[in-house]
């Protein structure tokens, strides 16, 4: 099972199995309480057999439990070989564990079985006590008799005892946990020389022959998907609102009745710079984050362009857009951030603040104070609301009339003239854009795509807040974009590729010089280009530079501060690097988190021991699948 789980860990079925597999096999494990002596053999495990009936019964129970746990799972997904292999693998494991239990003399008494069953919440009454009637009802739902269930539960109890004995051999000491903590929490910095591809883009040249060759080799990348052009009549409040008349008296009446809801809340338009750090991070990481935000804060207070500072230093998603958060009201941000934003004056930069996300600096671009809006400020908004309310009341009647006209043979333009609406022709668009453009379901989009050209669909299609009548005007087959249209992007692509190759070659030449016979002269030559990174962990995510686990592995394994023997690509460019420092994991953090690390390390080690034990049982067993066709 472990092999299958690892190979399919990202699949839907395996994710569901993690949630239900234990429950299922408590109810259906093995089913050896059934008389299956006359059934065809599916597999043998040493001298034990797994019958076809045993497998199919377990499969049905497990599939039913999975479907109950997740209604989105289809019967087809439960018929996959992977799902069936998981079931067979667990049945094999059970046979191996039962045999190992017999060898070790492990058993379970009837008293233990009853005690375990009575602790199952599925068999309790409303008072939280075991109830024989509830027990019988639950077993009927899974089509089992008490005798069958009790035999299966006894097997599971015995198997769990064997597993427990194995896990006990995996006890971990505080010293081992500290070693793991030290390894995980250790940080490093590097000295590096960055060779950025952007420095070579302007000198990279691309000729027409290269562009044409790239286009021909990558035509699939330039394909425009199949498109469709539609003519349609919309029956939605926002579309029909355009044809409604709203009087000044109606606007005044609406305002008088709803003036309290027309309050403008206090709002702030702000930007921010975020340096991310978690409470669980090592002290060295926390210290570096605080130092970084203080360096940026000094720049911001000195008058540096806040937007550019955010683009350069902010680690939040708004960084590329200059840290712009737009307008927001109270309640939209976490409390610490909100308080700082609303007490900071327009045009000023806040003090450094800490939230659950890390350290922030906020600049308030503008403010809107809370106020009661006058009628003229909201007149247009009120008119739109009233028009949409009127339009909503007319949708059904207009749609019914339109359908009568459509059945009589009129086209959409004539129908629009008759009911006072205007048929609109859409721009060509692919099928995947239809749901977003019109608010229709993917199923409705499929109907539209399959509609013959020149034909109007004979029923209205549901869209957001209403309906639409659709006629297909044109089908445009999939085709590659013309070379002239994509030529600029191809040129940029080829230039970027050549620039990256040149950057790598240049970096390798620098590394060769730094490690060659004239290394001292090279070191003096490149001294001004050598910089020191911020600290990073073994995952290799180097702040403001990018991620490269291989670089991190080499740095942490380095025995000295010699230049590493190869260059490494990062998001910012190619780097020549050497270990600058190793920063030990924090003693203070270890003291705070010691119990957690010991517990987690122990659980992980126990699982590894158990996995190795089961792998050993399987490797030493003779497992023969007599009917592999049943797994396909």
Q: What would the CATH number be for the domain defined by 226-242+393-477? A: 3.10.50
Model's pTM, two decimal places?
0.53
Helix (H) or strand (E) holding 537: none
**Lowest-confidence region among 66-75, 304-313, 333-342:** 66-75
Residue 173 pLDDT: 86
Burial zone of 292 (CB within 10 Å; 0-12 exposed, 13-18 middle, 19+ buried): buried
Confirm or reject CATH 3.30.479.10 for domain 266-369, answering yes or no.
no
Which tens digit of pLDDT belongs to each residue from 385-395?
Answer: 888 888 888 88
State the Cα–Cα distance between residues 419 and 426, nearest whole angstrom. Answer: 21
Class in CATH terms, 187-218+485-583? alpha beta
14 pLDDT more than 70:
no
Q: Return the structure tokens found at 122.
A: 């599925």
Instruction: Give residue 39's pLDDT.
Output: 61
pLDDT at 251 over 70: yes
Question: Which pLDDT does position 581 carry in this prediction?
Answer: 96
Q: Does pLDDT of 16 surpass 70?
A: no
Question: Is 9 a residue whose pLDDT tops 70?
Answer: no
pLDDT (tens digit per residue) in 171-187: 788 998 999 999 999 99
CB 441 within 8 A of CB 397: no
* Percent helix, strand and coil across the chain, each to the nearest 5: 55, 20, 25
Q: Which of 23-37, 402-416, 584-598 is predicted least confidently?
A: 23-37
What percent of the chain lies above the pLDDT cut of 90? Answer: 50
Better pLDDT: 71 or 483: 483
Q: Is the pLDDT of residue 33 over 60?
A: no
Cα–Cα distance for residue pair 158/164, rounded to 1 Å: 10
Strand locations in 137-226 (E): 187-195, 223-224
pLDDT of 36 strictly over 70: no
Q: Is the dihedral of CA 204, 207, 209, 214 positive or negative?
A: positive
| pLDDT at residue 207 is higher than 90 | yes
Residues of the chain with CATH 1.10.4030.10: 2-170+612-631
pLDDT score at 13: 39
Selection from 282, 289, 290 nearest residue 183 by Cα: 282
Q: What is the mean pLDDT of the chain?
A: 87
Of 7-11, 127-131, 255-259, the poorest mean pLDDT is in 7-11
- pLDDT band, residue 261 (cuts 50/70/90): low
- Which stretch, 194-198, 311-315, 600-604, has highest mean pLDDT? 194-198
Distance CA(522)–CA(520), nearest Å, equals: 5
Q: Using pLDDT thresholds of 50, 70 and 90, give the confidence band for residue 373.
A: confident
DSSP run (H or E) holding 473: strand 466-476
pLDDT at 29: 41
Please write the tens of the pLDDT for every residue from 84-101.
998 999 999 999 999 999
pLDDT digits (tens, 9 = 90+) for 506-525: 999 999 999 999 999 999 99
The pLDDT, as a whole number, for residue 473 is 93
Q: Are 268 and 339 in contact (CB under 8 A)?
A: no
Band (34; pLDDT cuts 50, 70, 90): very low
Q: Is 334 helix (H, G, I), strand (E, B) or coil?
A: coil
**Is 60 exceeded by the pLDDT of residue 15?**
no
pLDDT value for 99: 93
Q: Where are the alpha helices (DSSP H) in 323-478?
A: 335-343, 375-407, 412-419, 434-438, 442-450
Written in H, E and C, the secondary structure of 14-71 is: HHHHHHHHHHHHHHHCCCCCCCCCCCCEEEEECCEEEEHHHHHHHHHHHHHHHHHHCC
Query: How is residue 474 written in tokens?
Result: 């044109």
Q: How far is CA 604 from the centre of its chain?
A: 25
Which CATH code for domain 2-170+612-631?
Answer: 1.10.4030.10
**How much is the pLDDT for 24?**
40
User: What's the DSSP call for residue 456?
Assistant: B
Give the pLDDT band of residue 140 (cuts 50, 70, 90): confident
Closest CA to 395 of 413, 418, 421: 421
């Amino acid at each position: 099972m472990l092999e299958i789980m690892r190979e399919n860990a990202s699949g839907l079925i395996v994710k569901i199995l993690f949630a239900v597999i234990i429950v299922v096999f408590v109810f259906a494990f093995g089913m050896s309480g059934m008389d299956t002596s006359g059934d065809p053999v599916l597999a043998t495990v040493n001298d034990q057999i797994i019958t076809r009936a045993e497998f199919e019964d377990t499969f049905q129970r497990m599939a039913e439990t999975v479907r109950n746990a997740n209604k989105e799972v289809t019967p087809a997904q439960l018929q996959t070989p992977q799902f069936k292999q998981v079931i067979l693998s667990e049945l094999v494991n059970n046979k191996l564990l039962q045999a190992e239990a017999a060898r070790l003399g492990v058993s379970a008494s009837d008293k233990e079985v009853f005690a375990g069953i009575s602790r199952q919440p599925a068999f309790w009454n409303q008072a939280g006590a075991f109830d024989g009637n509830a027990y019988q009802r639950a077993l009927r739902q899974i089509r089992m008799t008490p005798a069958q269930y009790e035999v299966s539960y006894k097997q599971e109890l015995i198997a769990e005892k064997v597993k427990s004995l194995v896990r006990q051999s995996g006890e971990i000491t505080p010293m081992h946990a500290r070693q793991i903590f030290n390894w995980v929490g250790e940080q490093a910095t590097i000295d590096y020389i960055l060779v950025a591809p952007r420095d070579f883009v302007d000198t990279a040249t691309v000729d027409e022959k290269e562009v044409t060759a790239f286009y021909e080799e990558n035509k699939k990348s330039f394909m425009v998907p199949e498109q469709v052009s539609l003519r349609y009549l919309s029956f939605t409040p926002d579309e029909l609102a355009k044809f409604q008349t709203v009087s000044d008296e109606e606007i005044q009446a609406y305002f008088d009745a709803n003036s309290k809801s027309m309050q403008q809340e206090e709002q702030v338009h702000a930007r921010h710079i975020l340096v991310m750090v978690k409470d669980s991070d090592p002290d060295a990481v926390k210290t570096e984050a605080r130092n970084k935000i203080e360096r940026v804060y000094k720049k911001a207070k000195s008058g540096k362009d806040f937007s550019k500072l955010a683009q350069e230093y902010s680690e939040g998603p708004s960084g590329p857009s200059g840290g712009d958060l737009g307008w927001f009201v109270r309640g939209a941000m976490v409390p610490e951030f909100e308080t700082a934003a609303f007490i900071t004056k327009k045009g000023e930069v806040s003090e450094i603040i800490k939230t659950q996300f890390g350290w922030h600096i906020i600049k308030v671009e503008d403010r809107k104070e809370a106020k009661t809006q006058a009628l003229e400020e909201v007149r247009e908004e009120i008119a739109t609301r009233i028009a949409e309310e009127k339009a909503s009341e007319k949708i059904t009647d207009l749609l019914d009339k339109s359908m009568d006209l459509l059945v009589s043979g009129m086209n959409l333009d004539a129908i629009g003239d008759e009911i006072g609406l205007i048929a609109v022709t859409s721009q060509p668009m692919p099928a995947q854009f239809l749901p977003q453009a019109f608010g229709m379901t993917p199923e409705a989009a499929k109907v539209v795509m399959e509609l013959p050209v020149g034909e109007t669909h004979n029923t209205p299609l549901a869209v957001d807040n209403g309906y639409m009548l659709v006629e297909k005007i044109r089908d445009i087959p999939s085709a590659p974009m013309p070379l002239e249209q994509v030529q600029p992007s191809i040129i940029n692509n080829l230039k970027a590729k050549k620039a990256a190759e040149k950057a790598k070659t240049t970096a390798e030449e620098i590394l060769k010089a730094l490690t060659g016979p004239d290394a001292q002269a090279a070191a003096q030559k490149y001294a001004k280009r050598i910089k020191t990174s911020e600290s990073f962990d073994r995952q290799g995510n180097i702040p403001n530079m990018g991620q490269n686990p291989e670089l991190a592995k080499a740095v942490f394994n380095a025995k000295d501060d010699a230049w590493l023997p190869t260059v490494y690509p990062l998001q910012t460019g190619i780097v020549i690097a050497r270990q600058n420092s190793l920063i030990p994991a924090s003693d203070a953090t270890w003291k705070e988190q010691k119990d957690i690390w010991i517990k987690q390390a122990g659980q992980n080690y126990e699982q590894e021991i158990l996995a190795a034990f089961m792998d050993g049982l399987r490797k030493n067993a003779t497992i023969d699948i007599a009917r592999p066709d049943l797994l396909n």
